[in-house]
Amino acid sequence: MLLPLCVVAEQLKSPNGNLTMTFKVNNGFPYYSLDFKGKAVIKDSRIGLEIKNDSGLMDGFVLKDSKTSTFDETWTPVWGETKTIRNYYNELAVTLAQPQHNNRYIIVRFRLYDDGLGFRYEFPKQDHLNYFVIKEEHSQFAMAGDHKAFWLPGDYDTEEYSTMTSKLSEIRGLMKSAVTENVSQKVFSPTGVQTALQMKTDDGLYINLHEAALKDYPCMSLNLDDSKMIFESWLTPDAQGSKGYMQTPCTSPWRTIIVSDDARVMLSSNLILNLNDPCKYTDTSWIKPMKYVGVWWAMITGMNTWSYTNATSIKLGQFDYSKAVPSGTHGATTENVKKYIDFAAAHHIPGVLVEGWNVGWEDWFGNSKEDVFDFVTPYPDFHVDELHRYAAERGVELIMHHETSASVRNYERHMDAAYKFMADNGYHAVKSGYVGNIIPRGEYHYGQWMVNHFLYCVTKAADYHIMVNAHEAVRPTGLCRTYPNLIGNEAARGTEYEAMGGNNTDHTTILPFTRLQGGPMDYTPGIFDTKLTFLDAIGRKDHSFVHSTLVRQLALYVTMYSPLQMAADLPENYNKHLDAFKFIEDVPVDWDDSRYLEAEPGDYITVARKGKGTDDWYVGNTSDENGHSSVLKLDFLDKYKKYEATLYCDAPNAHFRDNPGAYVITTKKVNSRTVLKLKAAPGGGFAISIKAVK
Amino acid sequence: MLLPLCVVAEQLKSPNGNLTMTFKVNNGFPYYSLDFKGKAVIKDSRIGLEIKNDSGLMDGFVLKDSKTSTFDETWTPVWGETKTIRNYYNELAVTLAQPQHNNRYIIVRFRLYDDGLGFRYEFPKQDHLNYFVIKEEHSQFAMAGDHKAFWLPGDYDTEEYSTMTSKLSEIRGLMKSAVTENVSQKVFSPTGVQTALQMKTDDGLYINLHEAALKDYPCMSLNLDDSKMIFESWLTPDAQGSKGYMQTPCTSPWRTIIVSDDARVMLSSNLILNLNDPCKYTDTSWIKPMKYVGVWWAMITGMNTWSYTNATSIKLGQFDYSKAVPSGTHGATTENVKKYIDFAAAHHIPGVLVEGWNVGWEDWFGNSKEDVFDFVTPYPDFHVDELHRYAAERGVELIMHHETSASVRNYERHMDAAYKFMADNGYHAVKSGYVGNIIPRGEYHYGQWMVNHFLYCVTKAADYHIMVNAHEAVRPTGLCRTYPNLIGNEAARGTEYEAMGGNNTDHTTILPFTRLQGGPMDYTPGIFDTKLTFLDAIGRKDHSFVHSTLVRQLALYVTMYSPLQMAADLPENYNKHLDAFKFIEDVPVDWDDSRYLEAEPGDYITVARKGKGTDDWYVGNTSDENGHSSVLKLDFLDKYKKYEATLYCDAPNAHFRDNPGAYVITTKKVNSRTVLKLKAAPGGGFAISIKAVK
C-alpha cells in the first residue's frame, strides 16, 4: 500500500497513555482522530472554518510547525465539588499555514487529558489575518458507530427540552416528537442537537461532546450527517446569518470530548473547568455559596401571580400603580415575603428570592416590548426598606430578581442603576431571566451578541460584588472558573417544568452527564408536595406533578451539584415534613471532596460529598422509573473516625407516581468499613448525612 | 351627478383662509387633500397603516367622530431664529373606527397652519388595539403635477448625497447617477427619496414634505409612483424587515406639508418646531449657543490623522500605546490643541473641538468592530488635565468628540462613564458620530432602534448638562424644541465634502429649504483657503476645493442658521485674513429676529438677523454658480436708530472657481431707509454686519 506523500501526522498520548490523539494534514485538509484504549472514539475528522467573502480556513494547509508540551498544576476553585483540581494534560499545538494566502496561519491546540480531549482554533495577529467573519465552523466529530445518545433538539433560543434517548440513527425520525407544542422551540435542522451531548457506545464507552470557555463567539450546536455518523459544529447565527465577528489575536472556544469506559469518570471530570482560564478576580471573599427559599413556586404553579394588577398594558413611569386595583393574587407582598424570611431564619437558609417584586409584570411577555422593566421600582405592596431591615435582623438576605423579558438593550441601560440599587439595599445575588425573543430583534439567545451580553452582566456584577444566577442564558461552558460569581445557570428544563407537564422520570439521572458538564444548574429542587395537592385546595385539579419521590428531592441537593441551591417548595409544605427538611437544612452547598459511587446515564447516579471544612459526608442517589438497589461501601470515610448517619429512604412501597411521599428516616452509627444496602423506589432515591462524631 | 352615499367629508381652513384641507372617508378608505388659494397642493391621498399579522388599519373605516378646534400660542425658544414663535393653527381630529374589528379605532389629527399642514396617526389605548407591529405606513402625498424637486435618493443609512434637481418624472432615470461610487450609499427603490423634500410647481407654488417629532418610530422616506405622481411613506425597516413596534397609547410622527407661493415663507416657517412638544427641561440655563474652532479640518483634508500610530489592529486595554511608535501625523496633540485654544481665546471663540484625542482610531472604520472606543482614554500625547487648565485659564472650553463607529451597544455601555468624564473635565458639549454600519448588525441608522438611541443620548446628556451635536444621526424633525440640548446635527453633506470631491455650488442655497427644515445643521463653514493651498505645500496636488468664494463662507454663518457654528479652517489660514475673520468673530449664533429677504431654492438666499439681546443686525447672502444681484432695503432696521455697516463683498472679479479669495470690505453708515445694491459673485455671496451706533 502506498501512502500519499502529502500526509503529515503527529501523535499525542494522554498522561496515563489510555488516550491517543492523531493529527494529520492530508492533501491540505487537517484531520484529527481519538482512540481510547485502542478503541476509536473519534474517527478521522476534518477541522476548519468557512469565512465570509474569503476562500476560508478549510483547506490548502501545510503543517508549518508543531509543538508538544506537558502541563501539570493543581488549583483551588473558589467553590466546587472538590477542594483542589488537578489540571494535567499533554499538549500538541500545530501551526497550519496557507501558502496560497501569503502564508497566513492558524494554530490548532490540542490538550489531551486522561479523561478526554480539548481542542481549539487560535488566530494569531498577523498581516494577512486580522478582521474576519465566520460563515461556519466545520469541526467534525466522526463517531465510530451508531451510539446511544441523550440528546436535545438543536435550537438557537432554548435548551428547555426533555432529553431524548435514542440511537444516533433514530434522531431524524424522532425530531418532530422531541419538540413540544405551544412552546417557543424551533429546531435548526432535522438532525441538529445541542451540547453537552452524552453518548454511550455498544461496547461500553461513554463519550461526551461539548465546549469550554465560550466567550465572544457563538454557541456551538452539532449537526449529524446520519449517513456517516459524523457530527459537525453548527454555530448560532446573528440577525444577518453571520456566525462570528473576529479580530486577531483571538481563539475559538475549546471543543471538548470527554471519554471513559466508566460512567463515574464522566461525572467527576474537570476537563471543561480546566480548559477555562484561572479566576480573573483577586478578591473573591464576597462570593459565597448559599441555599435559599423564595416567592416563586407559588407563581410557577399558578397559585399566585408575578403581577400586581390585572391591567393589560403598562407604560413604565406613566401607569399609576398607586391608583391601580390590585388583583389580589400578587405573590411578592411584604407580608408574604416575611413568611419566607421567618422560615429561612428558622432553618438557617441564608437567602430569600422574591420574584414579581418590581413593576411591569402585567404585560412583560410576548409583546416584544422594549421598555418592559426598570429593575428598581417596587410594586406598592412590596416594601424594600422594611424587608431589608426585617431580613437583616434575622440574619437573612433577599435575593434580587431581574427578569429582562430578553429586552437586552433595556437591561443594559438600567444595569448600573439596578446593581447599585442592589448594593444599596442589601442584595448580593441576582437571578436574571431572558424569557422570550431577544431584543435586538433577530438576535438569538446563543449568538455571539448574547454570549457577549451574558458575560458582560457577570463582570459588571462583579464590580458591585454581586453573584449572578442567569436563567434562559447560554448553556455554561466552565466560565465559572474564571468568573466564580457566575454562581448558577438554568439552561435546561428545571423543576419548574414539573408544574408544566412534568419532567421525564430519568431527567435527573441524565442532567449531570449533560447540562452540568459546563457548570452548576439552579435546578430548584426540594418539592415535598410532589403531587401539588395545595392546588387541589384552590380548585385546580388538572395540574401536573413532580416525577420524583420526596426522598429523591432531598438527594438532588447532593446529586445536582450547585453552590446555589433552592428549597423550592412552599414553607407550609415543608412545615408538614420538618424531619425530612432537616436534610436540606444540613446539606452543604460547597465541598472538599466528591466521590461518584455509581452512575449510569438515564438510570441512576449515586454520589458522596464531603462538606467544605468539615468531616461530614452527604450521599445522594437519584434513580429512574425502575428504581435502583445500591450496595454502598463507605470506604471514603476517614478510617480513624466514627460517624453517625441519618438515612432518608423511600419507604418500601414508595413510588414517584402513586406514593411519592412515603419515606423512612433512620439513624445509624457507621465507619469506613460499613456497607449499606439501600433501595431507591421507582423515581426515587436516597439521601444520607454522615456526621463525624466528635 | 350622483355622489356615492358612503362619502363623508370634513373641511378645515387655515387661520388666514389660504389653505383648505379636506378629509373624507370613501367606501371605508380615508383620504385627505390640500389646496392653497384654490390650487391643488395634495390631491386626494389615502392614509393608513399595514400591520403585521393583521388585516391592518387601511380600510373598513367609518368616521365615528370629528372635532375641530383652534390653537394660538406664542412661545419662547431656548435658542432660535426669532425671540418668540407663534403656534397658530386650526385642528381637525377624526376618529376612524373599524366596525369589523370590534370597533377598534384610530385618530388622525390634522393641524392646518397658514404655511402648511401637519397630520399624524394616534393610537389610543383600547382593548382591541394594544401591541402591534407596523408592516408599512401608507400615507400618500398625491402631487398635482410633475413638479421640480430637490431630492436625495432614499437610503436607510445616509443623507450624505448631493441634491438632485429635476422633474419628478426624471427621478427614476437619474437615480443611478445620484449615487456616488465608493461611498456606502444604497437606495431602497428606483424612485425613493428622502425628506425634507422641496418642490416647486410650474405655477410657482413651493411645497415641502417632511416629518416632525420623530420619536420611537422609524424615519420616513417617500416612494414615488411616477405614473401618477403620488408619493407614499416608506418607513425604515429593522433587522427583520419590520417597521415599528408600537404599544398604545402612541402616535406616529407628524407628516408635514409646508406650502407657499413665496419661497421666503418656506424658510421662515416654524411649522415643524410648532408640531413638536414644548421643552421638557425646567432648567435650560446650561444650554448655550456657541461658536467653535477645532482640530478637524486638518484631518478631513488628510494633512493630519485622527490616529496616533500606524498600527493596523488595536484591542483596547491590550494595546500598549505608551510603547507604540507615533506616526508623527497625529492631529490631537497637546501642543497643537494649545494653538487652537490660543486662537480661540484671541478671537472670542468659546469652544475648541478636538477629534482623534482618544485611543482606538487606528482601526475604527470598516471592520464592524464592536469594542472600538472607550471614550475616556486619551492618546499619550493628549493631556486632558493640562488642556483643561490651559483652556479654562483663557476662557475657552474644549468640545468633546465621541465617534461611535456606529457600534451602538458599545457606546451605550460607556455612555455614563463618558459623560461623567466630560463633566469632570470641563466639557459641556459633545460632537458624536455614527460612521459605518450599525451594530447591532442589520439595524439601520434611521430605523426605530436608532431613532430611539439618538434621543436616549440627548436625554441622558441632559442629565449631565451636556449639549449634543450628532453627526450621521437621523435627520432632525424639530426635536430641538423639546430637547434644546440637541444643539446640532449633520444629516447632510457638510463642508467636509468640499475636501472630498466638493459640494454642488448651489448646495447652500438648497439646504435651508430641505435639511434645515427639521433643525440646525453643523455645516462647519468658514473655509478661507478654499483652494486648500496648504495641501499643495505638503505635495498633495490632486485635492478638491470648496465651491464657494471666501465671502460666501462668511455669509453662511447667517444663511445657515445654527446655534452651534464652527470656524472650520486652520488658524494659520485665518491669520492671513483677520479682517475677514472679524465677521466670524462678530456674528452671533442666537437671534431675536430673522427676515428672509430673498430666496429661490437652487439660486440664492438672503437673510437678515438681529443678534440676541442687541440692536445689531447681520445679513448674509449665498448664491449659486450664476451669482446674484441684490437690492436690499434695510427697512427692518429701527427707524429711530443709526447704524454702521461693514460690508464683506466679493470683489468684482471674484469667482468661486478661479478667484475665490478676492474680497472687498467697506464700511458705511446706514439706516432704515438705506437701500444697498450688492452683487454676489458666481458661487459667492455677501455678509454684512450692521451695528447700532450708541
**ipTM of this complex:** 0.95
Reduce the DSSP state of residue A611 to 3 states and report it: strand
* Amino acid, single-letter form, for residue A589: V
pLDDT beyond 70 at A1: no
Determine contact: B185 vs chain A, CB below 8 A: no
Alpha carbons A466 and A459: distance in angstroms, whole number: 9
Residues 6+ apart with CB under 8 A from B426: B388, B391, B392, B397, B398
**How many contacts (CB atoms, under 8 Å) link A and B?**
76
**Which residues does chain A have within 8 Å of residue B313's beta carbon, measured at their own beta carbons?**
125, 130-131, 247-248
Strand partners, A653: none
What's the rounded mean pLDDT across residues B376-394?
98
Which DSSP state fits A309?
B
Burial of A335 from C-beta contacts in 10 A (0-12 / 13-18 / 19+): exposed
Max distance between CA atoms of chain A, in angstroms, equals 87
pLDDT (0 to 100) of residue B425: 97
Ranges A178-187, A313-322, A376-385, B563-572: which has the least confidence: A178-187
Selected residues 215-254 of chain A with any CB under 8 Å from a CB in chain B? 238-240, 242, 245, 247-249
Task: For residue B131, give how far its alpha carbon lies from the nearest alpha carbon of chain A (Å).
Answer: 6
pLDDT (0 to 100) of residue B504: 97
- Looking at chain B, how many residues does it have? 694
3-state helix, strand, coil in chain A (%, to 5): 20, 35, 45
pLDDT (0 to 100) of residue B182: 62
Q: How many CB atoms lie within 10 A of CB A82?
A: 17
Residues 6+ apart with CB under 8 A from A633: A674, A675
Taking an 8 Å cut-off on Cβ atoms, the answer to whether B413 and A456 are in contact is yes
Alpha carbons B400 and B633: distance in angstroms, whole number: 42
Alpha carbons B125 and B129: distance in angstroms, whole number: 7
Mean pLDDT of chain A: 97
| Kind plus residue range of the DSSP H or E element containing B119 | strand B116-123
Among left, alpha and beta (phi > 0; psi -120 to 50; other), residue B28 is left
Residue A186: name the closest of A207, A220, A159, A209 by CA. Answer: A159
Of A211, A232, A496, A498, the catalytic one is A496
Per DSSP, chain B holds a count of helices (H) and strands (E) of 13, 36
Residues 6+ apart with CB under 8 A from B57: B48, B49, B50, B51, B98, B106, B121
Selected residues 494-523 of chain B with any CB under 8 Å from a CB in chain A? none
Read off the C-alpha cell for A600: 449510569
Mutate to test the interface with A, among B128, B217, B409 (most CBs of A within 10 A): B409
Tell whether the torsion through CA atoms of A287, A290, A294 and A296 is positive or negative: positive
- Is-cis flag, bond preceding A15, omega within 30? no
Determine contact: A412 vs chain B, CB below 8 A: yes
pLDDT beyond 60 at A292: yes
pLDDT (0 to 100) of residue B365: 96
Taking an 8 Å cut-off on Cβ atoms, the answer to whether B313 and A130 are in contact is yes
Q: Where does the pLDDT of residue B2 fall: very low under 50, low under 70, confident under 90, or very high at 90 and above?
A: very low
CA angle A184, A187, A189 (to 5 degrees): 165
Q: Which strands make up the sheet holding A643-650, listed edge to edge?
A: A591-600, A604-611, A617-623, A685-692, A643-650, A663-670
CA separation (Å) from A560 to A81, A509, A549, A600, B281?
A: 11, 9, 16, 15, 54
Taking an 8 Å cut-off on Cβ atoms, the answer to whether A313 and B133 are in contact is no
pLDDT beyond 90 at B7: no
Determine contact: A618 vs chain B, CB below 8 A: no
Alpha carbons B566 and B488: distance in angstroms, whole number: 11
* Amino acid, single-letter form, for residue A309: T
Minimal Cβ distance to B416: which of A131, A245, A416: A416
Check: CB of residue B309 under 8 Å from CB of residue B324.
yes
Residues of B acting as catalytic residues: 496
Taking an 8 Å cut-off on Cβ atoms, the answer to whether A313 and B409 are in contact is no
Reduce the DSSP state of residue B451 to 3 states and report it: helix
Determine contact: A443 vs chain B, CB below 8 A: yes
Q: How many CB atoms lie within 10 A of CB A666?
A: 10
pLDDT (0 to 100) of residue A2: 46
Q: Where does the pLDDT of residue B355 fall: very low under 50, low under 70, confident under 90, or very high at 90 and above?
A: very high
**Which residues does chain B have within 8 Å of residue A239's beta carbon, measured at their own beta carbons?**
239-240, 440-442
- Looking at chain A, how many residues does it have? 694
Determine contact: B53 vs chain A, CB below 8 A: no
What's the rounded mean pLDDT across residues A298-307?
97
Alpha carbons B347 and B330: distance in angstroms, whole number: 25
Alpha carbons A331 and A218: distance in angstroms, whole number: 37
Check: CB of residue A238 under 8 Å from CB of residue A449.
yes
pLDDT beyond 80 at B8: no
Alpha carbons B164 and A304: distance in angstroms, whole number: 63
pLDDT (0 to 100) of residue B542: 87
Ranges A161-175, A520-534, B183-197, B434-448: which has the least confidence: B183-197
What's the rounded mean pLDDT across residues B185-189?
92
Which DSSP state fits A226?
T
Taking an 8 Å cut-off on Cβ atoms, the answer to whether A131 and B409 are in contact is no
CA separation (Å) from A446 to A122, A217, A521, B554, B561?
A: 21, 9, 17, 56, 49
Alpha carbon A560 to chain centroid, angstroms: 10
Tell whether the torsion through CA atoms of B451, B455, B460 and B461 is positive or negative: positive
Per DSSP, chain A holds a count of helices (H) and strands (E) of 13, 36
| Kind plus residue range of the DSSP H or E element containing B669 | strand B663-670
Taking an 8 Å cut-off on Cβ atoms, the answer to whether B441 and A242 are in contact is yes
Taking an 8 Å cut-off on Cβ atoms, the answer to whether A442 and B240 are in contact is yes
Q: Where does the pLDDT of residue A270 fall: very low under 50, low under 70, confident under 90, or very high at 90 and above?
A: very high
**Which residues does chain A have within 8 Å of residue B312's beta carbon, measured at their own beta carbons?**
127, 130
Q: Where does the pLDDT of residue A182 fall: very low under 50, low under 70, confident under 90, or very high at 90 and above?
A: low
Alpha carbons A527 and A530: distance in angstroms, whole number: 6
Taking an 8 Å cut-off on Cβ atoms, the answer to whether B242 and A441 are in contact is yes
Check: CB of residue A556 under 8 Å from CB of residue A546.
no
Mutate to test the interface with A, among B246, B313, B416, B419 (most CBs of A within 10 A): B313
pLDDT beyond 80 at B344: yes
| Kind plus residue range of the DSSP H or E element containing B617 | strand B617-623
Residue B13: name the closest of B76, B80, B77, B89 by CA. Answer: B89
N-to-C CA span, chain A: 71
Task: For residue B175, give how far its alpha carbon lies from the nearest alpha carbon of chain A (Å).
Answer: 27
Read off the C-alpha cell for B370: 464592536
Check: CB of residue B554 under 8 Å from CB of residue B584.
yes
What's the rounded mean pLDDT across residues A587-599?
98
* Beta-strand runs (E) in A194-261: 197-200, 206-212, 220-225, 230-235, 245-247, 250-251, 254-260
pLDDT (0 to 100) of residue A542: 87
Mean pLDDT of chain B: 97
Max distance between CA atoms of chain B, in angstroms, equals 87
Alpha carbons A333 and A338: distance in angstroms, whole number: 9
pLDDT (0 to 100) of residue A3: 43
Read off the C-alpha cell for B398: 474644549
pTM for the complete prediction?
Answer: 0.97
pLDDT beyond 60 at A655: yes
Mutate to test the interface with A, among B371, B441, B450, B453 (most CBs of A within 10 A): B441
Question: Active-site residue A496, yes or no?
Answer: yes
What's the rounded mean pLDDT across residues B420-430?
98
Residue B73: name the closest of B7, B15, B11 by CA. Answer: B15
Alpha carbons B317 and B359: distance in angstroms, whole number: 10
Task: For residue B449, give how far its alpha carbon lies from the nearest alpha carbon of chain A (Å).
Answer: 8
Alpha carbons B615 and B608: distance in angstroms, whole number: 12
Q: Where does the pLDDT of residue A6 fall: very low under 50, low under 70, confident under 90, or very high at 90 and above?
A: low
Taking an 8 Å cut-off on Cβ atoms, the answer to whether B313 and A239 are in contact is no
DSSP string, B536-583: HTTT--S----SS-HHHHHHHHHHS--SEEE--S-HHHHHTTHHHHHH
**Which residues does chain B have within 8 Å of residue A242's beta carbon, measured at their own beta carbons?**
441
Read off the C-alpha cell for A623: 434513580
Give residue for cell 367609518.
B62
Determine contact: B449 vs chain A, CB below 8 A: yes
Determine contact: B368 vs chain A, CB below 8 A: yes
Alpha carbons A39 and A36: distance in angstroms, whole number: 5
Check: CB of residue A648 under 8 Å from CB of residue A554.
yes
Q: How many CB atoms lie within 10 A of CB B51?
A: 18
Residue A258: name the closest of A277, A275, A235 by CA. Answer: A275
Taking an 8 Å cut-off on Cβ atoms, the answer to whether A441 and B409 are in contact is no
N-to-C CA span, chain B: 71
Which DSSP state fits A112?
E
